[in-house]
């Protein structure tokens, strides 16, 4: 089980998991990204790469270094990272402040090569979303949030088969949480409250877009997460625009603050 997932109400009146109050960066990350369903290859590659770097470090440190990592890894362009050479590895290790673990750098390169291979079977989004369980209930208390699951272990094994390195069941579960494959927003958090208002209004074509409708069925899909501050709720994800159900932070309408919201 994990600590820090119980709902805490902030000064703005919105509930968030306790871990989101460690600093402003984590709060912003929860409000804008964490648990928002993600469908684009590049965004999912970046997220998994950041989780590889997190091993042994605090997530807020990774978020602080995210701009630098994006620069060093070509904005996490899969094909460019897959082509990195030993010279590129040395340059990254020389320039990266605080992240000088060669094994982690090479694991990200291996991940990029693995993502290229996944395209033959539908891509990283399809491989990752095979771990989605439409019958999994949302945890009702923070103490019920696990560190890993049978499905995260299966996903880790599948990723390893494609050539990924350093991805175990716990890393895979953190990835599933962050990109919305599992919903660990406990009651009392604003995301759980918004999703509760949208029950049954799920977007019907998401899995058709990924080519896996036959595996899960159109009646058991998670809603599309609108990122506060983004236009249309997709924030540049590789996804058909102007479609889907957006679940937004209270006071945000179509990505912009709504002064009339109650």
Mean pLDDT of 129-156: 94
16 — phi, psi (to 5°)?
A: -140, 160
pLDDT digits (tens, 9 = 90+) for 97-121: 667 899 999 999 999 999 999 999 9
- CATH superfamily for 22-193 is Hypothetical protein; domain 2 (1.10.340.30)
pLDDT digits (tens, 9 = 90+) for 201-244: 333 334 333 443 333 333 333 443 332 333 323 333 333 333 33
Query: In whole angstroms, what is the distance from residue 226 CA to residue 55 CA?
Result: 28
pLDDT digits (tens, 9 = 90+) for 162-173: 999 999 999 999
Q: What is the DSSP letter of 189?
A: B
- The two beta strands, 15-17 and 7-9, are antiparallel
Query: In whole angstroms, what is the distance from residue 237 CA to residue 247 CA?
Result: 15
Query: In whole angstroms, what is the distance from residue 262 CA to residue 245 CA?
Result: 21
Structure confidence at residue 52 as a pLDDT band (50, 70, 90):
very high
Question: Residue 49's pLDDT is what?
Answer: 97
Question: Residue 217's pLDDT is what?
Answer: 33
**In what helix (H) or strand (E) does residue 246 lie, and over which residues does it extend?**
strand 246-247
| Domain coordinates in residue numbering, the chain | 22-193
Q: What is the pTM of this model?
A: 0.79
For Cα atoms 19, 23, 28, give the angle at the middle one, nearest 5 degrees. Answer: 85
């Amino acid at each position: 089980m994990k600590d820090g997932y119980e709902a805490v109400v902030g000064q703005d009146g919105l509930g968030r998991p306790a871990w989101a109050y460690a600093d402003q960066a984590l709060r912003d990350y929860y409000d804008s990204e964490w648990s928002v369903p993600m469908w684009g290859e590049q965004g999912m590659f970046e997220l998994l790469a950041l989780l590889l770097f997190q091993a042994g470090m605090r997530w807020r440190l990774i978020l602080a270094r995210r701009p630098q990592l994006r620069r060093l890894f070509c904005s996490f362009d899969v094909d460019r990272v897959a082509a990195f050479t030993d010279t590129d590895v040395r340059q990254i290790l020389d320039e990266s402040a605080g992240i000088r673990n060669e094994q982690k750098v090479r694991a990200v390169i291996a991940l990029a090569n693995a993502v290229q291979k996944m395209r033959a079977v539908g891509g990283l989004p399809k491989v990752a979303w095979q771990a989605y369980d439409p019958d999994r209930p949302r945890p009702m208390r923070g103490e019920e949030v696990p560190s890993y699951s049978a499905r995260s272990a299966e996903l880790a094994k599948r990723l390893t088969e494609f050539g990924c390195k350093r991805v175990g069941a716990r890393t895979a579960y953190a990835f599933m949480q962050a990109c919305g494959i599992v919903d660990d927003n406990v009651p009392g958090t604003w995301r759980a409250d918004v999703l509760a208002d949208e029950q049954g209004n799920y977007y019907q074509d998401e899995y058709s877009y990924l080519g896996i409708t036959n595996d899960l069925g159109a009646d058991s899909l998670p809603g599309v997460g609108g990122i506060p501050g983004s236009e249309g709720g997709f924030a540049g994800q590789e996804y058909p625009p102007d479609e889907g159900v957006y679940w937004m932070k209270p006071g945000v309408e179509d990505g912009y603050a709504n002064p009339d919201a109650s």
